[in-house]
Structure formats: structure tokens, C-alpha cells
Amino acid sequence: MTLAVASVVVLGFVGVLDIPGFDQGGIPDVDGVPGNATSAGTVSLADVESAYVATLNDELDAAGGPQLDRSDHLDKVATFYNQRLVKTLLANGSLPADQQVSEFLGEECQRGTPITFSDEQLSIDDGTAQELGERLATAVAERGFEPTQSANAVGVDIHTVDGRLYLGQFVCAA
């Protein structure tokens, strides 16, 4: 029996088996987060995230800034951080310690800059994913988002609760 349990743990660790709550990158799931992590009505939040990054890169290019490539690993860190933030704001959760976030960012990120953003003006309405991503990127740029010139990787998570968008993002110089 002990050998069977140990085998499952090892297979989960190397990514052969998917064990709920156990991510092979060591980034845990966040349980009990209010709202929705995948859609806002009929709008896919993954599509909003893609439109956001594309528009953000357009805004950065126009300002002479760096171009940011999405990173699956940084997306996972941004999701973890953003969900913990939403849970902290709305359901008595707590933010992770800075050291824990730094460990999750790992070697991929020499310098991680977290940004969180939510705005009453960016509530979900009848807009498309493209329109929502564009509005969010424009609002973030207008608030003075300026990554360092060495920044080249981004992780993004958008979550919605009661019609409001919550953005979690890490920008790194890898």
C-alpha cells in the first residue's frame, strides 16, 4: 500500500498523473475563490487575456517599450496570485508571502513586477473579448505601466466577480 501511494506521488511530481491540488510546477490551486476564472457570460477570459497582451504590446511599441511574450509558467504564478488577491478582498483569504511568490517565479524571472488592477469602469458588459482586452490594456497603460527595457516575459490572469474584472500580471526580465 505504501509503495502504491509513493508511486502516485512520484508520478504526480513528474507530471505523468494529474493529482488535484498538486501542480507539477509547485504552484498550488486556490480553493474557494469567488467569481469565475474562465468566462464572463459568453466571453472567454482566456480570449480577453490574449487580446489584453496583444494590445498591451501595441501600446508598449508605440511608446518605445519592450515586447512581452506570454509565459505559461508566469501565467500560473499570475493566476495563483490573482486568485489569492480576489479571495483576500472578497472572502477572507490572505496574500501569499513575497518569498513564496519569488520561489514560484523561480529562475525564469530575474526580476518580477506584480501588478494588480481592477476598475469600476472596466466591468463586464456586452463587449467582445477583443474589446474588453483592448479597454483593459489601454487603462493599464494610461495608469503609467512602464516595464523596464529588459522585460520580455509576461504572465497574465483575468478573473471576474460580480461583473468586475480583476487583472493579475507578472512582467519579468528572463
Q: What angle do CA 158, 159, 162 make, to 5 degrees?
A: 140
Residues 99 and 52 grouped into a single domain: yes
Q: In a 3-state reduction of DSSP, which class is residue 116? A: strand
State the pLDDT at residue 54.
97
- How far apart are the C-alpha atoms of 82 and 10, rounded to whole Å? 29
Residues 8 and 42 grouped into a single domain: no
60 or 16, higher pLDDT: 60
pTM given for the model: 0.80
What tens digit of pLDDT does each residue of 53-86 get?
A: 999 999 999 999 999 999 999 999 999 999 999 9
Q: Beta strands 153-161 and 69-70: pairing type?
A: parallel
The answer for residues whose C-beta is within 8 angstroms of residue 151's C-beta and 6 or more apart is 66, 68, 113, 171, 172, 173
Residues 101 and 18 grouped into a single domain: no
Query: Can you say how many angstroms the Cα of residue 10 is from the centroid of all Cα atoms in its chain?
Result: 27
What tens digit of pLDDT does each residue of 130-148 get?
A: 999 998 998 888 888 888 8
State the pLDDT at residue 44.
95
Residues 61 and 130 grouped into a single domain: yes
Residues 17 and 66 grouped into a single domain: no
Residues 16 and 79 grouped into a single domain: no
Name the domain count of the chain.
2
State the pLDDT at residue 21.
44
Residues 94 and 41 grouped into a single domain: yes
Q: What is the CATH number of the domain that holds 63?
A: 3.40.33.10
Q: Tell me the pLDDT band of 2, cut-offs 50, 70 and 90.
A: very low
152 or 8, higher pLDDT: 152
The helix or strand, by DSSP H or E, that contains position 164, with its residue range, turns out to be: strand 164-172
Share of the chain residues as helix, strand and coil, in percent rounded to the nearest 5: 45, 20, 35
State the pLDDT at residue 8.
38
**113 φ, ψ (degrees, to nearest 5):** -115, 105
- How far apart are the C-alpha atoms of 104 and 125, rounded to whole Å? 34
Please state the rounded mean pLDDT for residues 20-30. Answer: 68
Q: In a 3-state reduction of DSSP, which class is residue 63? A: coil
State which residues form the domain around 20: 1-27
What tens digit of pLDDT does each residue of 96-113 get?
A: 888 888 889 887 676 555
Residues 87 and 159 grouped into a single domain: yes
Residues 86 and 12 grouped into a single domain: no
Residues 71 and 127 grouped into a single domain: yes
- One-letter amino acid at 155 equals G
Residues 16 and 38 grouped into a single domain: no
Residues 105 and 125 grouped into a single domain: yes
